Structure 1
Amino acid sequence: MSIYTSITASLPFIEVDLKLTPQQMSMFINGYKYIIPCQTLLSSKSMEQHVSEQYQSISTTIKNCLRDHRIPTSDKRAKEAFLALQHILLELQLKKVPRTLERRAKHENKIVQSIQCLLRNRPDIVVRRTDKSKVFYIGKATDLARKAEEYMLKTNAYQEITNGRCPLSDMLYAVQKLLSNLVRQKAITIQQFKKISPKTMDLELGHYHGLPKPHKPGTPLRPIVASIHAPATLLSKFLNDLLAPIYLKVTREVTFINGIDVVRKLETYVLDGHFQATTKFIVIDVTDLYTMIPREEALHALMRFLENNSHHGKIGTLSIDAIMRMARLILDTNYFVYDNKYYRQIRGGAMGSAFTQVLANIYMHEWEQDLIKYQAAHNGIYGRYIDDIFMATNENMADIKKELGKAAKKDINIKINYQIDTCVNFLDVTVLNINGRLKTNLYHKNTAEPYILPYSSDHPRHVHRNIPFAALLRAARLCSDVQDFNNELIRIDMSLLLSNYPPKFIQKRFNRFFRVYDAMQVLTKLNCNVYTRLHQQVLYQPTRREKQLQTIMQDVIQSPPVLQDKTWDPDMMYPRYEYHNLAFRQFRQKFLQWWRTYYANVEPALANIKVRPVAATNLTLETVFIRKKPPKQILTRIEQK
Structure 2
Amino acid sequence: MDEFKALEDFEQIASPAQWNIHLILKPKIKNWSTKNKNYQILSKRVELDLPPKIIEKVDFSFKIDESIISQDEAQATYNQMRQITKDFRTQAMTLYVQSAARENEILSNEIKGVVDRFPQDNDDGFDAEPGYAAFKQYHELRQKRMKLEIEQSMHFLSEQQVEGDTNNLQIQEEIIAPTVIQEHQLLKLGPKFIFNDPKTAARRRITELATLKRKLENCFFQKKVSPGRPLLQFMAELDVLLQTLHNVPVIDKYLNLNQNALFGNNINQNKSIMEVINSQLSQSQFVNTIKMKKKKNYGRLVKRLKHKFKLANVVLQKSDKSKVFHLGKLEDYQKKSEEYMAKTQAYKCLGTNDPLPILTKRTNKYLLDLRLAKWITQKQYEKLCINPSEVELAHLYYLPKAHKPGTPLRPIVSGLKHPTVKISKFLDELLRPLFDEMASKTTVNSGFELMKQLQKWSMINMRQETLFCTIDVADLYTMVPQIEGVLALKKMLDYLKLKQVAGLKIETIIRLSRFVMQNNYFSYDGQYYHQIRGGAMGSPLTLTVANCYMFFYEQQIIKQIHNSNGLYFRYIDDIFVAINWPTRHLFKQIDRWNHFDENIKLSEKIGVAADFLDLHIENQDGQLLTTIFQKSSYEPYYLPFNSIHPLHMKKNIVFTMLLRAIRYCSTFQAYLDEREKLRMALLLNKYPNKFIDLQFINILEKLNIEQLLTINNYAQYRQKVIDSPIKEKVPVDYGKTVFVHFTYCSNMRTFPGKFHVLWNKYFGESPINDIIPTLGTRNVNNLQRRLVHTRLINA
TM over 0.5: yes
Is the Cα contact below 8 Å between 1:301 and 1:366 reproduced in 2?
yes
Q: Does the CA-based 8 Å contact 1:125-1:139 persist in structure 2?
A: yes
User: 1:172 maps to which residue?
Assistant: 360
Residue 744 of structure 2, aligned match among 579, 583, 595: 579
Whether 1:209 aligns to 2:397 is: yes
Partner of 1:119: 309
Q: 1:114 to 1:197 in 2, by over 3 A?
A: same
In structure 2, the partner of 1:309 is 496
The 3-state SS of whatever aligns with 2:317 is strand
Tell me the C-alpha RMSD between the 2 structures: 2.7
Q: Is the CA contact (8 Å cut-off) linking 1:517 and 1:534 kept in structure 2?
A: no
Residue 7 of structure 1, CA deviation: 5.0
Cα shift at 1:287: 0.3
Q: 1:543 to 1:138 in 2, by over 3 A?
A: farther
Count of aligned positions: 591
Task: Report the alpha carbon displacement of residue 108 of structure 1 after superposing the two structures with TM.
Answer: 3.1
Residue 181 of structure 1 deviates from its aligned partner by: 4.3
Q: Residue 146 of structure 1 aligns with which residue?
A: 335
Distance verdict in 2 for CA 1:201–1:571, change over 3 Å:
farther
2:188 alignment counterpart:
29
Task: Give the residue type in structure 2 aligned to 1:93.
Answer: H
Cα distance change on mapping 1:474 and 1:300 into 2, 3 Å: same
Contact 2:314 2:330 in 1 (8 A): yes
Indicate the residue corresponding to 2:594 in structure 1. 408
**3-state DSSP of counterpart to 1:447:** coil
Query: Structure 2 vs 1, CA of residues 472 and 382 (structure 1 numbering), >3 Å: closer, same or farther?
Result: same
| Structure-to-structure mapping, 1:93-492, within 5 angstroms | 93-94=246-247, 96-97=287-288, 99-100=290-291, 103-104=294-295, 106-122=296-312, 124-162=313-351, 164-184=352-372, 188-271=376-459, 273-311=460-498, 313-492=499-678
Q: 1:152-182 CA deviation, whole Å, 9 max, x = no partner?
A: 00000000114x3321122222332333344
Q: Structure 1 CA distance, aligned partners of 2:218 and 2:640?
A: 37
The code of the aligned residue for 2:318 comes to R
More moved, 232-241 vs 217-226? 232-241
Partner of 1:602: 765
Mapped to 2, the partners of 1:504 and 1:199 lie a distance apart of: 54
How much has 1:619 moved relative to structure 2?
1.0
Cα distance in 2 for partners of 1:382, 1:3 equals 37
Q: 1:631 to 1:267 in 2, by over 3 A?
A: closer
Native 8 Å contact 2:204 2:743 kept in 1: no
The separation in 2 between residues aligned to 1:51 and 1:412, in whole angstroms, is 57
- Contact 2:367/2:385 (8 A) holds in 1: yes
Inter-CA distance 400–264: structure 2 relative to 1 (3 Å threshold): same
What is the one-letter code of the residue matched to 2:654?
P
**CA deviation string 1:525-569 (max 9, x = no partner):** x4134322332233244557xx47x99xxxxxxxxxxxxxxx982
Query: Cα gap change, 1:541/1:239 in structure 2, threshold over 3 Å: closer, same or farther?
Result: farther
- C-alpha offsets along residues 382-408 of structure 1, whole Å, 9 cap, x if unaligned? 000000000000122233223212210
Deviations 1:181-221 (CA, angstroms, capped at 9, x unpaired): 44456655544444443354431000001100010110000
Corresponding residue number in structure 1 for 2:778: 616
Q: 1:54 aligns with which of 208, 211, 222?
A: 208
Matches within 5 A, 1:499-538: 499-519=685-705, 521-522=707-708, 526-538=709-721
> How far, CA to CA, are the matches of 1:251 and 1:452 in structure 2?
33
Q: Sequence identity of aligned pairs in percent?
A: 32
Find the aligned partners of 2:327 and 2:304 in 1 and give their Cα distance: 16
CA distance in 2, matches of 1:6, 1:303: 56
Checking the alignment, whether the CA contact within 8 Å between 2:565 and 2:579 is kept in structure 1 is yes
Shift of 1:2: 11
Deviations 1:608-628 (A, max 9, x none): 323211100111111111122
Q: Which amino acid aligns with 2:785?
A: T
Displacement of 1:328 after TM fit?
0.7
**In the alignment, does 2:791 pair up with 1:629?**
yes
In the TM superposition, residue 3 of structure 1 has moved relative to its aligned partner by: 8.6
Q: Quote the Cα distance in structure 2 between the aligned partners of 1:368 and 1:101.
A: 65
Q: Which string of whole-angstrom CA distances, capped at 9 and with x for unpartnered residues, describes residues 55-102 of structure 1?
A: 2233233333333333423x2232222222222222322374475587
Given the two structures, how large is their TM-score scaled by the length of structure 2?
Answer: 0.70
Provide structure 2 residue ranges, at least 5 long, that are not aligned to the other structure. 1-87, 96-175, 248-283
SS at structure 2 position matched to 1:171: helix
What is the SS of the residue equivalent to 1:21? helix
Structure 1: runs of 5+ lacking an equivalent: 9-17, 552-566, 635-641
Q: For the Cα contact (< 8 Å) 1:207–1:630, is it kept in 2?
A: no
SS for the counterpart of 2:297 is: helix
Change over 3 Å in CA distance of 1:35–1:99 after alignment to 2: farther
CA distance in 2, matches of 1:213, 1:372: 30
8 Å CA contact retained: 2:322, 2:633: no
8 Å Cα contact 1:284-1:418 kept in structure 2: yes
CA–CA separation in structure 2 for the residues paired with 1:179 and 1:568: 35
Contact 1:337 1:630 in 2 (8 A): no
Shift of 1:589: 1.7
Deviation at 1:333, TM superposition (A): 1.4
AA at the equivalent of 2:521: Y
Alignment correspondent of 2:92: 5
Partners of 2:776 and 2:220 lie apart in 1 by 18
Larger Rg over CA atoms? 2
SS state at 1:406 partner: helix
| More displaced stretch, 606-615 vs 109-118 | 109-118
Give me the whole-angstrom Cα distance separating, in 2, the residues matched to 1:241 and 1:146: 37
Q: 1:237 to 1:295 in 2, by over 3 A?
A: same
Residues 133/610 of structure 1: CA separation in 2 closer, same or farther (3 Å cut):
farther
Higher mean alpha-carbon deviation, 78-87 vs 354-363, is at: 78-87
Higher relative contact order (CA 8 A, sep 6+): 1
Q: For residues 582 and 574 of structure 2, what CA distance do their matches in structure 1 show?
A: 22
Distance 1:472 1:32, change over 3 A: same
Give distance in 2, aligned partners of 1:206 and 1:21. Answer: 35
Residue 476 of structure 1 contacts residue 534 of structure 1 at CA under 8 Å; is this kept in 2? no
Amino acid across the alignment from 1:359:
V
Distance 1:200 1:215 in 2: 41
SS in 1 for 2:636: coil
| CA distance in structure 1 between the aligned counterparts of 2:560 and 2:292, rounded to whole angstroms | 63
**2:398–2:412: 8 Å Cα contact kept in structure 1?**
yes
Report the equivalent of 1:558: none
Could you say if the C-alpha distance between residues 519 and 326 of structure 1 is closer, same or farther in structure 2, counting changes exceeding 3 Å?
Answer: same
CA contact (8 A) 1:57 1:576 kept: no
Q: Which has the higher mean CA deviation after the structures are superposed, 377-386 or 22-31?
A: 22-31
Q: Deviations over 1:4-36 (max 9, x none)?
A: 52759xxxxxxxxx9982221111111111011
